[in-house]
Structure 1
Amino acid sequence: MLMSLVAMVGALTLLLPPRRLQQLLLPLVSLAAGSLLGGALFHMLPEGMEAMPSRSGSLCIAAGFMTFLALEQFLQWHHSHRHPGRSGPDAAAGGASRQPMAILVLLGDALHNFIGGLGIASTFLLNPDAGVAAFVAAVAHEVPQELGDFAILVHSGWKPRTALRWNVISALTFPLGAVIAWLISRSLPVGGLVLFACGNFLYIAASDLVPEIKSARSLRDATIGFVWCSAGLLVMMALAQ
């Protein structure tokens, strides 16, 4: 349930000045990138590979990576398909025209949380220490993501209270995934789920977060991004000792 409480962090977008919030996003995103990479490489990958043959394990990682690629491709296609040829200020005009985007954000976040719950619970079942580290990495990622999701929902015309409520509801799929992982662990090996989630972690870090760090427009921002990303990686490595 702790992950569901993290979803409420989006309300900070209403409390912090926009400039201050913007200053916090780069360190948060960079820390999340390093944490996800470290959680995948130093915790989930070793535990999963130890539990199953390397070839099968590699396939599970690839499946996890490609599943999130397919999900993002579908969501982007579906949104552009619903609004062909619309861009600029006119595309953002009117709350009704932005409702599909808000719903897709919630659906994507719910699926993401469900898969995260499956993978992290499976990791915990294999090794509690590795499970805790994977959870920490997931929380580090969820903070900037929930800030962004909340902002999108409000921008889509939703009232802040409604946006916060649905953000929390979408996060409830995380404990649902964890319970399902616990149930199927009695009859199925969980190593495959761990490596599947490892592929998810690698995809999110490499595709969504690292590009944000690389897009820094100044040497100062680039340095901040690299330092915080390295910090997240080092913390995960230290937890693996």
Structure 2
Amino acid sequence: MASDVFLFIFTVLFLNTLIGGVGVLSFLFVKKNLSRIAFILMSFSAGTLLGGAFFHLLLHSLEEGHAPLDEILLSTLFGFLVFFIFENYLHFHRCVECKIHPYTYLILIGDGLHNIFDGIVVATTFIISIPLGVATSIAVLLHEVPQELGIFGAMIHAGQDKTKSIIYPMLAQSTSLLGGVLGYVFFSSIEQYAPIFLPFVAGGFMYIASADLIPEIHKSEKWQKIEGILALFLGLAFMWVLKGVEG
């Protein structure tokens, strides 16, 4: 039975890793308007990051009720500041002469941390009940598809080449396998840190969206700006709808 559960966990998280390269399916035959599509997906990513932070990560922490509100808020602020300091310490922010904007690496770091927790959640729910694990896995996979598409678009928009824009998100997704192992081995004690860990990731997502992605919308031309704003709200709306599906 234990081996069957581990096989379920590994299979789901391996599929979750492959989703990191889903952008290639959309862009494989795209030759024209790539920069425009990348801008729209970058804006969509800003919406999914904000929606993921507010509608999922923070709400989950609050609903669990295992941490006081002030600790959740402090953890969120700490995550925001850590991403801010990390970016500025490496002289990444608003690098005019850089061909590739390094905020893409911050997105991958935040996504990797988030995927560790996803792996923990998938593993622990499968241990409790296989049907519960299957339902949770579907929610996780649905959650990742739009976000990974947005990350692909954000990386292309920032100047990264298509190959790395496919491979790097897959590497970030692979951290879910680490989370799965942790959840499988230590599931009885590891979830107690979720109410603090999730707000930290949420704070990082807020920083990336507000400091790096949304300013790109501000700098765009009139009609492109409208497209960006609509894409941002579409990303928010999708994450809100997904919240209802997960519920």
Structure 2 length-normalised TM? 0.66
Map residues 89-108 of structure 1 onto 2, 5 A cutoff: none
1:205 corresponds to which of 198, 201, 209: 209
The 10-residue stretch of structure 1 (119-128 or 198-207) with the greater mean CA deviation from structure 2: 119-128
What SS is found at the alignment partner of 2:189?
coil
Aligned to 1:98: none
Cα 1:179–1:65 change in 2 (3 A) is farther
2:80 corresponds to which of 65, 82, 98: 65
Cα 1:143–1:53 change in 2 (3 A) is same
Cα separation, 1, equivalents of 2:52 and 2:16 = 17
The answer to whether the aligner puts 1:40 opposite 2:53 as a matched pair is yes
The 10-residue stretch of structure 1 (227-236 or 7-16) with the greater mean CA deviation from structure 2: 7-16
The 10-residue stretch of structure 1 (167-176 or 25-34) with the greater mean CA deviation from structure 2: 167-176
Cα 1:148–1:236 change in 2 (3 A) is closer
Aligned to 2:113: 115
Cα separation, 1, equivalents of 2:104 and 2:228 = 27
Counterpart contact for 2:103–2:208, Cα < 8 Å: no
Counterpart residue type for residue 145 of structure 1: I
Deviation of 1:224 (Å): 1.2
Percent identical pairs in the alignment equals 24
Cα separation, 2, equivalents of 1:42 and 1:139 = 17
Deviation of 1:111 (Å): 3.4
Counterpart contact for 1:118–1:193, Cα < 8 Å: no
Counterpart contact for 1:114–1:173, Cα < 8 Å: yes
The 10-residue stretch of structure 1 (137-146 or 223-232) with the greater mean CA deviation from structure 2: 137-146
Deviation of 1:106 (Å): 9.1
Cα RMSD after superposing both structures? 4.0
Cα separation, 2, equivalents of 1:227 and 1:207 = 19
1:140 corresponds to which of 142, 146, 171: 146
Counterpart contact for 1:29–1:141, Cα < 8 Å: no
Unpaired runs of at least 5, structure 2: 1-13, 126-131
Cα separation, 1, equivalents of 2:47 and 2:168 = 28
Aligned to 1:25: 38
Deviation of 1:180 (Å): 3.4
What SS is found at the alignment partner of 1:187?
helix
Cα separation, 2, equivalents of 1:67 and 1:166 = 22
Counterpart residue type for residue 238 of structure 2: V
The answer to whether the aligner puts 1:239 opposite 2:242 as a matched pair is yes
Cα separation, 2, equivalents of 1:47 and 1:29 = 25
Cα 1:205–1:123 change in 2 (3 A) is farther
Q: Deviations over 1:9-40 (max 9, x none)?
A: 465666422x4211212221222222221222
Deviation of 1:235 (Å): 2.3
Cα 1:216–1:121 change in 2 (3 A) is same
Q: How many residues align?
A: 216
